[in-house]
Chain A
Amino acid sequence: NAGVMQNPRHLVRRRGQEARLRCSPMKGHSHVYWYRQLPEEGLKFMVYLQKENIIDESGMPKERFSAEFPKEGPSILRIQQVVRGDSAAYFCASSRLAGFNEQFFGPGTRLTVL
């Protein structure tokens, strides 16, 4: 029973490039959450998606960031025109149900912007 999968595990981009982070939830999970972890800080909620719907994007920066969770395939977090401040670990979590229930986290994607 595979857990939450994220790829790539490490991503290096130069300023101005685009970063695409992928997340495949656990089998049977249709709720996906993205969090960002800056060095020495806790995880910060970014966005909550269900299949084909964005439920809550209150934690997403207004510009350059977008997320999707299509009917088929993984959830994608997309960062356009990356800047050095985007360097962080990005974690995806999934859950089976809506509301409060255990969120299972993936291993994260570590983004480095040069």
Chain B
Amino acid sequence: QKEVEQDPGPLSVPEGAIVSLNCTYSNSAFQYFMWYRQYSRKGPELLMYTYSSGNKEDGRFTAQVDKSSKYISLFIRDSQPSDSATYLCAMSGEDSSYKLIFGSGTRLLVRP
């Protein structure tokens, strides 16, 4: 079993839709939770991170962490075609916090 599970998609939505992306994990020691966006043939780019449980909002993006369920989510409101990319969740623990454990990524396509 992988430490971090993520549905690969692809997820296809019309422009303006609310998108929900999710990851589950098995290691209860994870404390840092991140979402990266990766465009084709590019390196990942950090969108948001949260520490421990709770919600965090940044513009159209909201990240949620539920440590009791070992489940994290990224919501994208008013999705745009430019949001079309692969979204990777990543996590790390207090020890070796630099060692990011990534999900396999969900491909998102926002149709105009």
Contacts and interface: CB of A to CB of B under 8 A. Distances in A.
Contact of B4 (A40, A42, A105, A107): A42
Contact of A99 (B42, B45, B49, B97): B97
Interface residues of B, number: 25
Interface residues of A, number: 27
B10 interface: no
A31 interface: yes
A42 B96 contact: no
A52 to B, nearest CB: 18
Given A33-B100, A41-B104, A91-B44, 10 more contacts: A35-B100, A42-B90, A44-B102, A45-B100, A45-B101, A48-B98, A56-B99, A100-B32, A105-B45, A108-B43
Give 10 nearest A-B pairs by CB, closest first.
A42-B102, A105-B43, A100-B97, A42-B104, A43-B102, A105-B44, A45-B99, A107-B43, A42-B103, A106-B43
Interface of B: 4, 6, 8, 32, 36, 41-46, 49, 88, 90, 92, 96-105
